[in-house]
Amino acid sequence: MKAETKNKRLHIVGAVAMALGVTGAVSANAAGDPGREVIDRKCASCHLEGGKLTRIPEIRKSPEGWDMTVTRMGIWHKVELTAEERRAVVKYLADRQGLAPSEAAPFRFLTERRPNMQDTPPDEEMAQMCGRCHSFGRVALQRRDEAEWRKLMHTHLGQFPSAEYSALGRDRNWWEIARDKMPGRLAALYPKNTDAWRDWSRAKHRPADGRWVVAGERPGWGAYTGVMTAVAKGNDKYEVSYELHFGAGNKVRGHGDAVIYTGYEWRGSARLGNEDTRSVFALSENGSRISGRWFLKHADEIGASFEAVRADKTAKSALALVTPHMLRAGDTATVTVAGAGLDAKVDLGPGIEVVEWLGKSAEQLKLRVKVASDAAPGLRKVVVGGRESDKSVAVYRQIDSVRVEPAFGIARVGGGTNPPMTAQFNAVAFLNGPDGQPGTDDDVRLGSVPATWSTEPFDERAKHDEDLRFAGHMEPHGQFLPSFAGPNPVRRGLNNVGNLSVIATVADGDRALNAKGQLVVTVQRWNPTPLR
């Protein structure tokens, strides 16, 4: 009944807008853009006053931010867009009212959907006023002026009236703070007009087509190197093919597509091997590198880091990966350097001698190295073709300590329409560093190591409640699979939640090292938004 009334109102407003000649408001360079056409035809039925668009031009956001806005307008105001219209309007807005790379950089972990991350709001008030219901990053990936931030506050309480009744809302004059204080604070932190955006929006950006040497690490699988080829399909669209090598004999081929928003925000989908994946990458400002994360379409907690260097004539010894990262003193090892424009001159630092070349190409160098038995433990910068890189190798005699990463992980029970969320753990080896103590800031990261995984009750309470029995089980590669959601009559109010210790046991020669992390198996999340 209500929706009908509303729709009717929208139609009337739309008709009025048409009569006023909305198309006259379109700037010359935007005319004909399918996204702009959607704005004029659909959004303007409400967001138009005196021939000018309201609200929409006052905001800058990430592609995900705009997509969530469009989705919200559909849910709240019954704005019906086809998938094509939705893509067009998000592209149009993210390109013209996006974020500069430097503005989006601090919150890439959120855009990339990295699991087990916790964002750090600037202060307690921001954390409680904004970050108690959604990530603070969702706020920080928007730009508005004070009046527009204030309008967002009105929208918040109008749409989510429980905000002033829920915990950390009811203990204060939430609305007065939201209306009177937050808009100014937010506008000071995240204003609409910035030098960064002015410069970025005026600059020309390098397209992403061509060949890229890629590398990364997938927790549970290990490091990979490979090649990605992007073929331009017009309007920032690309057809993309992948060939990834996860160690000997594990070659994964893939094919998919990608769209570049705002000149640098790469959003792709691909079938890699037998898995459907999504990629969230960013091109570097000069367009020579790409970095980010790809993850499974239906389980974004499972994914891999991604780094790419452009393999064209301008590339000069640009490194994507040096593997393995850890070299034991006294050993002979095969080292692979992946990159572009590689010059077959490699310096791995003191105590590491190249004894044999196994492969020399512009994209891959393969060499046998002998590590002196008295080589000093620690990191060495890798120098290729006389150019120091940001890559390193580490020499060690023995692993001093192991850490479980993440140290605190979350899995969610699942079932029915809401699948479980697993948790992938990784064992990482460290040297103690100059202070000789494990677990301190000067520890030297050696890299991921194979481990045997097990779980234990985290504390006495977990032991008493038999969390181990109910919460789920650990796979051999460190992935925890949680149990089913819903009432478990055997367990009363606890159902299948749990609080567990995750134990990694790592063999280092004859020694065995243990490390412990914490895993909380908790309830489902019902609103899997692109930005949490």
Partner 1 sequence: MRMLPIKKARAALVVLCCAAASLPAFAKEYLLTVTRPNNLHVVDPEKREVIRTIVLPGDGIPGAISVPKDGKVAYVLTNRMESVVGVDLDTGKPVFRADFSTPQRRVKGFFAVTVSEDGKELYAHQAPVQLGRSEYQVEDTYIAVFDTADGLNAKPRRTFPAPRRISLLAPTGNPDHVIALGWDMYLFNTKSGKIEKTFPIRHWERPGMGEPDVLAMWGTYEQARMLSTPYFVAKTDVPTDSPEAFKAGIAMFDLDAETLQVREFENATTVMFSSVINPARRNEAFLVMNQLSKVDTDSGKLLKRVDLPQTFYAINISGDGKEVYVGGALDKVSIHDAETLEKKGEITMPGGADQSIGWMRVVKR
464 binds partner 1 (CB under 8 A): no
Q: How far is the CB of 166 from partner 1 (least distance, A)?
A: 8
155 binds partner 1 (CB under 8 A): yes
Choice from 175, 196, 209, 368 touching partner 1 (CB under 8 A): 175
DSSP 421: B
Q: Which two tokens stand for residue 206?
A: 């390098």
Nearer to partner 1, 41 or 179 (CB): 179
174 binds partner 1 (CB under 8 A): yes
Choice from 106, 158, 247, 359 touching partner 1 (CB under 8 A): 158
Nearer to partner 1, 176 or 199 (CB): 176
Q: How far is the CB of 123 from partner 1 (least distance, A)?
A: 20
Segment interacting with partner 1 (CB under 8 A) among 172-180, 240-248, 338-346, 448-456? 172-180
Choice from 28, 75, 167, 355 touching partner 1 (CB under 8 A): 167
Contact between 191 and 145 (Cβ < 8 Å): yes
* 117 phi and psi angles, rounded to 5 deg: -105, 150
Contacts of 481 (CB under 8 A, 6+ apart): 411, 420, 422, 472, 473, 474, 475
- 3-state SS, residue 130: coil
DSSP 307: E
Q: How far is the CB of 48 from partner 1 (least distance, A)?
A: 8
The contact pattern for partner 1, residues 480-499, with x = CB under 8 A and - = no contact, is: -------x-x--xx------
Pairing of strands 48-49, 52-53: antiparallel
CA-CA distance, 416 to 363, in Å (whole number)? 46
2 binds partner 1 (CB under 8 A): yes
Pairing of strands 222-232, 318-323: unpaired
Nearer to partner 1, 170 or 297 (CB): 170
Nearer to partner 1, 8 or 251 (CB): 8
Of 422, 412, 430, 425, whose CA–CA distance to 452 is shortest?
A: 425
Contacts of 127 (CB under 8 A, 6+ apart): 121, 136
Choice from 114, 132, 151, 233 touching partner 1 (CB under 8 A): 151
162 binds partner 1 (CB under 8 A): yes
Contact between 404 and 426 (Cβ < 8 Å): yes
Nearer to partner 1, 265 or 465 (CB): 465
Contact between 305 and 326 (Cβ < 8 Å): no
Segment interacting with partner 1 (CB under 8 A) among 24-32, 85-93, 152-160, 418-426? 152-160
Contact between 424 and 479 (Cβ < 8 Å): yes
50 binds partner 1 (CB under 8 A): no
Query: How large is the C-alpha radius of gyration of the chain?
Result: 26
Nearer to partner 1, 57 or 324 (CB): 57
**Secondary structure (DSSP) of 314-369:** T--SEEEEEE-SEEETT-EEEEEEEEES--S-EE--TTEEEEEEEEE-SSEEEEEE
Choice from 87, 114, 132, 179 touching partner 1 (CB under 8 A): 179
Question: Site residues (CB under 8 A) for partner 1?
Answer: 2, 5-6, 9, 13, 46-49, 54-55, 151, 153-155, 157-159, 161-162, 164-165, 167, 170-171, 173-175, 179, 487, 489, 492-493
